[in-house]
Structure 1
Amino acid sequence: MVRRSTGDTSPEETFRDQKDRRFGLGLSATHVGTPERRDRLLLLAAIAQALLTLLGGAGEQCGLDRLMKTNTSKKRTMSLFNQGINLYAAIPNMGADRLVPLMKAFDSAVRGHEIFRAVFGLI
């Protein structure tokens, strides 16, 4: 998956996001017996990371990012992936006034990418 850097994260942080239990998907804690299973797991992790990054972007578009940074900061202080993780964890308790705009922005972001239309088009 090709990622365009906006200067807010580095490749090292991206790999940390996939492996680390605290900051990401926790792949370092998995034990895989076959290469085929490893490949499927990495594909699912890549899709999850992309979707969480899009959710973070949707949250930023709706203005929910202001709830995750200090009120004096004008620029992004948390990666879109980490924002997406926080928003995903907050969804069960999120009020409709925040959830509905977030889901509309997320739907628009997902539909805007050809790869997701191809992957999820049959669902």
Structure 2
Amino acid sequence: MPWDDLDLDADEDPRLLFGLKELSFGTTDGLWPLASTDRGEVIFLASGPVTPRLLVVDGEIGWTEYDMSFAEWPYRYLIGEDMAGPNSSAFYPGPVQLQRLPMSATERPEPWSGPDRGM
């Protein structure tokens, strides 16, 4: 995607927001997609000068940075905190379906459900 051709405000351009030289994906200095939600949010890992950081795009063009581990991000998301920018909370009262990533081209992991909170 040619980011230079988009008419983005300064608060919408991830290069300006997070000090990235260029926007690339899966490269040493780029963004690594980690997960996505059923609402369209995508969580990226960005290498930082000291520690990696999480960048979340809200399904449209709003980006937010989180200084926490990836394990903490889905936990907070699932308990209903704003984890994709302001007023982005979602609460999932029932079990969550999880699925391991395949380790080979032929593997098809079975999904399993997370804990039911009894609500």
Same fold? TM cut 0.5: no
User: Normalized per residue, which structure has more strand?
Assistant: 2
Q: Whose relative contact order is higher, 1 or 2, with alpha carbons under 8 Å and at least 6 apart?
A: 1
Structure of greater Rg: 2
TM-score by length of 2: 0.25
